Amino acid sequence: MNNMVCDNRPPPSSSPLTVNDPSAAPELASFPSPFPLAHGRLRALEPADTPVAELHARLLDGSYDKPFIIEDDEHGFLHFGMAFIQSAMRLAAPDVLDLRYTQKMMGFLLFKRNPGRIALLGLGGGSLAKFCYRALPAATIAAVEIDPNVIALRRYFAIPDDDERFCVIRDDATDYLARADASFDVLLADAFDADGLARTLASREFFQRTHAALSESGILVMNLAGEKSRYLDLVDEAREIYDHQTLLVPVRDDGNHILFAFKQRLFEPDWKQLRQRAKELKARHGLDFPAFVQKMEESARGRAGLNRVIDQWARTRRRAEERGRKDGRRGR
């Protein structure tokens, strides 16, 4: 199979980690967890003889700069710090989508039942990568991740080896999209660091690159974590670049929102047809697609209200920027 999504690699000199060679991955050792509210085992990319007290001190004061895993009897949780859980894996069922937001991101299947080319922007614990690889055998998939230490954990998280239709690429997501000669059906953006959404995704340029890289009917799906007020600017940028063909869907209980942005102009979903399709997808994949489509329809029907909120937010931001420029001119 000709996998164009995996032909788009950076030069070898910028990608020193051989992601398919287990011997190239750093050691993953087990330690007691230092966190009072996260009991279990700590798995870290450190030698087994690392002084435990020193490691614990760096984890507790926030100076530890590698991803780590907190593991109990049932789950392995990926962390960059203790503020967020980056990924969760059931140890007995590593391909299951355990976090609700990852399940909702698969809502793109309501609109693209048989995507040919998928890029995941951010690997994390590989939840979406594994699910797409198993559930969509006709798709070619590239998972793009800039942090070599995240890639080094692919064995722990049972992420598939590279083959003719799947690969992990060490690269910046925006740079990868800039070089892309493939036309993607779906882009799944879920890239965070210890402080929140990865900076490379929090820009107008990122949305421009995604729009250019998608096929004419392609879909961008993006995980946004935290309060809406923190990322309304980003939603406003996406809404403008995607000609208002967007849905912002809340994820119950965890504060995330999922942004769906459709490149197709004048996109008008047939909700009756989608409700029927949701039943078929639930039977096939075991996810609650009927609930997904209900939330999407509610978002679409409330889009006018959301647009007003975003418009007001954008006007306030522009007025503040203009005042800043005027104050700057007065100060000269």
100-317: which CATH topology? Answer: Rossmann fold (3.40.50)
Q: What angle do CA 275, 102, 64 make, to 5 degrees?
A: 170
Nearest to 1 by CA among 145, 175, 169, 138: 138
For residue range 32-68, what is the model confidence (pLDDT) as tens digits?
999 988 889 999 999 999 999 999 999 999 999 999 9
Residue 192: closest CA among 184, 183, 201: 201
Beta partners for residue 168, in sequence order: 143
- Check residue 116 and give its pLDDT: 95
- In the chain, CATH 3.40.50.150 sits at 100-317
* pLDDT over threshold 90, residue 18: no
Confidence of residue 191 (pLDDT cuts 50, 70, 90): confident
Statement: residue 193 has pLDDT above 80: no
Q: What is the pLDDT of residue 302?
A: 75
SS3 content of the chain, % helix, strand, coil (to 5): 40, 20, 40
- Catalytic-labelled residue, pool 190, 195, 233, 327: 190
Kindly tell me if the per-residue pLDDT of 330 is higher than 80: no
Has 190 been annotated as catalytic?
yes
Least confident of 22-26, 88-92, 199-203, 280-284: 22-26
Q: What is the pLDDT of residues 263-318, one digit of tens each?
A: 988 888 999 999 999 999 999 999 999 999 999 998 888 765 555 666 666 677 66
pLDDT at 14: 43
